[in-house]
């Protein structure tokens, strides 16, 4: 288990909380249970990333485990769509200490909110406790865990640029394909149906310690991607699909991509692509 001091919590309360959030985020809010979180994202109307978060439920509230530095902007954007919905949005980060646990369900007191991380079985659990738990490791332990599994985090994604399908949301249960409309859905669906995923976020390993995050990655002097998370020789990088094999350079370090087993390089469905093109052609 690790304490994640750079994560905070947004509380959404009120009788319309589920329906309100359902029409705005990428995943199915109705599938949240006390035992299992939902991982989701808020997008721009153009389908670009704004923020990711885990949605947990506690009594009459939804709790969004979110990056602290995105909370103010997330509340601001969500509030624009509140209209007549009976909901209240509040930053309650000072009331919770966010943790990630793996290697089995953590044993914590009843005042902690615990839910399975839905992305992978090995991902573990999200834990919202009143204070930092005494046996929690530093955040670096979780960074190593998620890099090994290829799990994205807010640090790896570029606001108003990254597409969800580039960052594994399609494979890691971060998108509902059946729930209906949400903000940014059109581009997300088109990316899937047409197979237009040109970049992917993947683990990488260097022949020495990797340089800092945001270092350019090249092949034969041509830019093919960017380092995101870095921990010693291991990291995550956003790479062009054609750069997922063979040696690459980041500064003086040679590195190679190590795509995880869950990663799917092709999403294209010819039948769905034809149907989408036909629909666009009618102007509907």
Max distance between CA atoms of the chain, in angstroms, equals 60
Q: What is the pLDDT of residues 133-168, one digit of tens each?
A: 999 999 999 999 999 999 999 999 999 999 999 999
**Does residue 214 surpass a pLDDT of 90?**
yes
Range name among 41-50, 118-127, 186-195, 272-281 with the lowest pLDDT average: 272-281
Contact 211, 162 (CB under 8 A): no
Tell me the pairing of strands 97-101 and 222-231: unpaired
Task: Supply the DSSP string of 102-167, one letter for each residue.
Answer: -SS-----TTSEEEE-SS-GGG-EEEEESS--TT-B-HHHHHHHHHHHT---GGGS-TTT--GGGG
Residue 278 has a pLDDT of 47
* C-alpha–C-alpha distance, residues 110 and 32, integer Å: 19
Contacts with 59 (C-beta within 8 Å, 6 or more apart), sequence order: none
Residue 282 has a pLDDT of 39
Q: What is the pLDDT of residues 66-90, one digit of tens each?
A: 999 999 999 999 999 999 999 999 9
The predicted model gives 180-185 an average pLDDT of: 93
* C-alpha–C-alpha distance, residues 27 and 8, integer Å: 20
What is the CA angle 59-109-66, rounded to 5?
55
As a dihedral over the C-alpha atoms of residue 11, residue 13, residue 17, residue 20, rounded to 10 degrees, the angle is -70
Task: Supply the DSSP string of 191-251, one letter for each residue.
Answer: HHHHT---EEEEEEEESS----TT-EEEETTEEEEEEEEEETTEEEEEEEGGGSSS-EEET
Q: 176: which 2 tokens?
A: 């509902």
**Does residue 93 surpass a pLDDT of 80?**
yes
Contact 158, 10 (CB under 8 A): no
* C-alpha–C-alpha distance, residues 117 and 55, integer Å: 10
Confidence of residue 194 (pLDDT cuts 50, 70, 90): confident
What is the dihedral sign for C-alpha 43, 90, 93, 34?
Answer: negative
Confidence of residue 218 (pLDDT cuts 50, 70, 90): very high
Range name among 15-24, 184-193, 259-268 with the lowest pLDDT average: 259-268
What is the CA angle 191-41-105, rounded to 5?
120
């Amino acid at each position: 288990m690790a304490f994640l001091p750079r994560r905070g919590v947004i509380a959404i309360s009120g009788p319309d909380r589920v329906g309100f959030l359902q029409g705005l985020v990428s995943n199915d809010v109705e599938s949240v249970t006390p035992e299992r979180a939902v991982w989701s994202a808020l997008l721009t109307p153009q389908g670009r990333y704004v923020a990711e978060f885990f949605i947990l439920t506690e009594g009459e509230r939804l709790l969004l485990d979110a990056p602290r530095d995105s909370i103010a902007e997330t509340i601001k954007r969500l509030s624009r769509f509140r209209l007549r919905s009976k909901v209240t949005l509040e930053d309650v980060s000072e009331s919770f200490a966010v943790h990630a646990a793996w290697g089995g369900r953590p044993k914590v007191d009843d005042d902690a909110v615990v839910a399975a991380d839905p992305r992978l079985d090995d991902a573990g659990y999200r834990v919202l406790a009143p204070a930092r738990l005494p046996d929690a490791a530093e955040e670096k332990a979780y960074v190593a865990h998620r890099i090994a599994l290829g799990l994205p985090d807010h640090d790896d994604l570029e606001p108003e640029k990254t597409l969800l399908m580039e960052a594994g949301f399609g494979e890691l249960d971060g998108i509902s394909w059946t729930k209906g409309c949400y903000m940014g859905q059109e581009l997300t669906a088109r990316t899937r149906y047409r197979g237009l995923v040109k970049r992917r976020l993947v683990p990488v390993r260097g022949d020495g310690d990797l340089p800092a995050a945001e270092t350019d990655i090249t092949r034969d002097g041509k830019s093919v991607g960017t380092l995101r998370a870095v921990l010693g020789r291991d990291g995550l990088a956003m790479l062009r699909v054609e750069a997922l094999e063979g040696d690459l350079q980041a500064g003086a370090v040679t590195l190679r991509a190590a795509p995880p087993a869950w990663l799917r390089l092709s999403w294209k469905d010819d039948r769905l692509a034809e149907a989408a093109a036909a629909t666009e052609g009618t102007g509907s």
